Chain A
């Protein structure tokens, strides 16, 4: 392995840190214990900053009544506290929203590990600070070493004082600057004696115990080491930035196997310390396997907490699946090049390992090159929080009756076989019974069946019959073997069953993801993606789900106005969206919410949030369920992005198309307007000064002017019609119309144009009335006829026919011209399409014709006639005819 290259992950992190310029800088004033003067140092620095012209806001400060500290506050602006009433007590808290709104350059917030009053946005102050830093504001804050998450248990062991308020190491690691505030223990004790150190409860024995010289020395050492680690990290950053040959080996990778118990927290903390020392990546894995029964609620809670802790400490977390825990762990370790596996020391009794095989042993055997470290399990569980026995819900007593029944049946069968078959064959029948029970109901009922079988066999079939006494001692061996085989069968069958169930659960999850991805892949609208996401998330956590997407004015909106989730929790969704992290129920942010909000983060930006209220019995959510929801959210996010991209592409295509049309329109308009105008202008100017032009010549010019003006008029009419038809749905003036009448009107309008052609009209006498817009349909006919005239030679025939077919009536206009160029039968209806040989035309007549027919629910098509020439067919749907006119059809004079 090459060592001459900086770790790419680290480089990436560094790049990311630089790529977000808006992030504020975090400076931590770090101390070994209370009383070393962190707050004092912080305020002095802040004052210095202010002198440099930086706007400083004191977000939260605890002076603990120390006058020299209070004096430093003078002249600095202090943010008013937020007052929260909780159970009748008014608590003062740091006002996060106000601080964000004020946007100072530098915000000073004391006591990072503080726990916020219930109902605050975040449970912890360090989360407030993180949000402020994210918002681009620099922050000064203070922290004592005993509050560091990874050192928590160590501090506990050294000092005997349990610290409840901890801060994830990642916060300190992420700090841009750490200033270590050091005070030798002797000086501190002196200050303590002088009463210069604020101690919350000086009388408490624990507190007095804490401020012992030995403790202070130990804490100081821990703090110094922690600071040194940070400095070391800075040095590495410096080396990397300046491309100095690294002196450290290739990063190690540590895999930590956690189990759903409280001790795992300690394992995770230990792993964090090793990882930090080795500068290794570390992965915290929970393994699901069919060997294990489903988790109890308490176990799920433990697991969720451990996973969260691991994430806070900077680990990658993952849930593995495998036939056995050891196989899953080893396979994953190999795949990810893990150099070291950390497992907890077994806490269960020795005989269990003997029965089932020890996990530790299996891992160690299969580990090959990988180091396996066993970390001591923590303090034994106190009786109070002993978890309930994990076991699948009891199906009642029925399985036991079932095994009783099976054994009875076996006995009956054996009784029938007795005499014909040897006793050893009877044993087979019983074994079969045990196997049947095991495959249906698992271990316990099948164990019962095994015992009963032995008893029944002894009682009924081993001489002396109908007693449990045994004359032949050989049968003792038979019983023992029979029992052993039965138990073995039942164990194996039960395991197969459990594996099948686990495989079923995995399969279900895979299926869910597969179905989701398929639905997302075929979804064409946001709504379809949302629907799929809601459905699958609901299926995963058995609770209502709702999707929130960014609305037009930047806010998050739910597609449904009456969503299943509490509308007052929009702010939680908003927070999850903006910070791209989970919020609400079961998270560290606004955990009081009734629902969990997971952001849908796409490749570039968050695209929305999905909120879900999981079913009560699933709370807290197990990591695999959270993973599933996250995976679904991720798929949905890419789905939304795809839909957006498709929409953008479609818009671009439409824009390009309309651009092309506009260009064609402009060239067409300028050509088709100018051609007749040129003729008119030329002819008119000649007529103004006829010179030697004779009467016939003058008449010809006059006719040319008239015809060209008509043509111009038709063209302008077409342009107006097209505009009107394209402006949106056309309001049709539908009336019952006679096609004959409309054909007549069209022919009358084109009288002059049609002069050169022979027109034949053959309409059936019994043509029904058609409900249509007469003016528009007449125009459609005019356009088709005009087109026929344009493309055929004078003297040829144009024939108009009509016929009724099924529920349609069609009008056909056939000409005897050259026909349509092959392949253009459809294209002639495109705007501005011009037949190759025809004269200049507007290229609008036929598209208008088709648009008019379409508006009536009909069609316009063109084809070439077998005998030559083109045929245009306008097809209209027929409606039931109107009630007939009431009239006597008698001749009037007979009346």
Chain B
């Protein structure tokens, strides 16, 4: 799964890169071009909104700190009419911005500075999910690094050994599986697993994630599957 090229037999994917820093643009242009992506560049939020509509990109890389419109606002406006995957780029310590962007409809985020490996992995996940959306629920079996989740039968295996989960634990895992490889915010998990009205009870998530880790992970303190995005949420490893 660590292939550096997009899926074969498909035309080059078009990526809209919204970034006002020329060196970062240069680096993304070179790197993404080398990995077989086509690129459209926008250096302001306004231009990004126009390009998103007129160039129909497959994915948008959006820096949150733009000179004109706030990146979160750009995300919100694009989401009013488009489901194109958006990955936002932001600095560490700006967790609030990230959550806001995710709530506004961004698919994932990357903390600057990031490595090319991380960037390509996020892009692959988002592109795959985007192409799969209509049939999301029709894919009942999820498998990664020895973790197997059968959504239909509600069964979980680690290295062929069946793990018994409580109902809530399973629901939590199932939600993460649905967004596998993408970050899921605490709020989203609470809403999806415990239902609306459970906002502010983030400790539920912490407790059950802990239980889940102890059941699924070899070393719960150094998890393989259930990654923590401190201050934002969780991510189920997808590759």
Contact = CB atoms under 8 A, between A and B. Distances in A.
Contact of B228 (A706, A717, A744): A744
B206 A741 contact: yes
A775 B164 contact: no
Interface in B108-157: 113, 115, 154
A717 B169 contact: no
A695 interface: no
Contacts of A745: 228-230
Contact of B167 (A742, A778, A895): A895
Interface of A: 706, 709, 713, 717, 720-721, 724, 733, 735-738, 740-745, 747-748, 761, 763, 765, 769, 774-775, 778, 800, 882, 884-885, 887-893, 895
Instruction: Give the secondary structure class of B's interface.
Output: mixed
Interface string B89-116: 0001101100000000000000001010
Contacts of A748: 222, 227-228
Nearest to A740: B221
Given A745-B228, A892-B165, 14 more contacts: A713-B113, A721-B93, A735-B202, A740-B220, A740-B221, A742-B228, A744-B220, A744-B221, A769-B207, A775-B231, A888-B167, A892-B168, A892-B169, A895-B167
10 contacts: A741-B228, A748-B227, A761-B219, A761-B221, A882-B203, A885-B168, A885-B201, A885-B203, A888-B168, A889-B166
A800 B96 CA distance: 29
B210 interface: yes
B209 interface: yes
Nearest to A775: B231
Contact of A891 (B164, B206, B207, B214): B164
Contacts of B228: 741-742, 744-745, 748
Contacts of A775: 93, 95, 230-231
Contact of B206 (A724, A737, A743): A737
Contacts of B154: 892-893
Contacts of B201: 882, 885
A646 B154 CA distance: 73
Nearest to A741: B228
A800 B219 CA distance: 13
A763 B217 CA distance: 15
Nearest to B223: A744
A885 B208 contact: yes
Chain B interface size band reads 35 or more
Contacts of B209: 738, 741
Given A738-B209, A892-B166, A763 B202 contact: no
Contact of B222 (A736, A747, A774): A747
B27 interface: no
A893 B207 contact: no
B90 to A, nearest CB: 13
Nearest to B229: A745
Nearest to B219: A761
Contacts of A733: 95-96, 231
B239 to A, nearest CB: 15
Contacts of A737: 206
A385 to B, nearest CB: 84
B225 to A, nearest CB: 12
Contacts of A735: 202-203
Contacts of A742: 228, 230
A774 B213 CA distance: 18
Contact of A774 (B115, B204, B208, B231): B231
A335 B190 CA distance: 90
Contact of A893 (B92, B164, B204): B164
A855 to B, nearest CB: 15
A740 B166 contact: no
B214 A778 contact: no
A763 B221 CA distance: 8
Interface of B: 92-93, 95-96, 113, 115, 154, 164-170, 201-204, 206-210, 213-214, 219-223, 227-231
A775 B95 CA distance: 8
B167 A740 contact: no
A800 B168 CA distance: 30
A321 to B, nearest CB: 72
A604 to B, nearest CB: 50
A503 B209 CA distance: 81
A775 to B, nearest CB: 4
B92 A717 contact: yes
Nearest to B164: A891
Contacts of B213: 740-741
Contacts of B169: 892
A681 to B, nearest CB: 15
A891 B166 contact: yes
Pick from A748, A763, A800 the residue with the most CB of B within 10 Å.
Answer: A748
Nearest to A895: B167
B95 A741 contact: no
Contacts of A736: 202-203, 206
Nearest to B171: A892
Contacts of A888: 166-168
Contacts of B208: 885, 887
Nearest to A712: B113
Pick from B214, B220, B221 the residue with the most CB of A within 10 Å.
Answer: B221
Given A740-B210, A769-B203, A774 B221 contact: no
B207 A885 contact: yes
Nearest to A721: B93
Closest 5 CB pairs of A and B: A736-B203, A892-B167, A761-B221, A775-B231, A885-B204
A800 B223 CA distance: 16
A709 B231 contact: no
Nearest to A717: B92
A780 to B, nearest CB: 12
A118 B64 CA distance: 76
Contacts of B204: 885
A892 B193 CA distance: 14
A887 B169 CA distance: 10
Contacts of B210: 738, 740-741
B112 to A, nearest CB: 9
A571 B217 CA distance: 79
Contacts of A706: 115
B230 A887 contact: no
B221 A890 contact: no
A885 B170 CA distance: 15
A884 B206 CA distance: 11
B222 A744 contact: yes
Contacts of A882: 201, 203
Contacts of B166: 887-892
A778 B230 contact: yes
Contacts of A744: 220-223, 228
Contacts of B170: 892
Contacts of B207: 738, 769, 884-885
B99 to A, nearest CB: 10
Contacts of A800: 221
Contacts of A765: 214
A262 to B, nearest CB: 84
A893 B171 CA distance: 12
Pick from A721, A724, A741, A761 the residue with the most CB of B within 10 Å.
Answer: A741
A718 B93 CA distance: 11
Contacts of B95: 733, 775
Pick from B202, B213, B228 the residue with the most CB of A within 10 Å.
Answer: B228
A769 B203 CA distance: 8
A488 B206 CA distance: 95
A720 B92 CA distance: 10
Contacts of B203: 735-736, 769, 882, 885
B189 to A, nearest CB: 12
A724 to B, nearest CB: 8
Contact of B113 (A709, A741, A769, A887): A709
Contacts of B96: 733
A737 B206 CA distance: 7
Nearest to A778: B230
Nearest to A759: B222
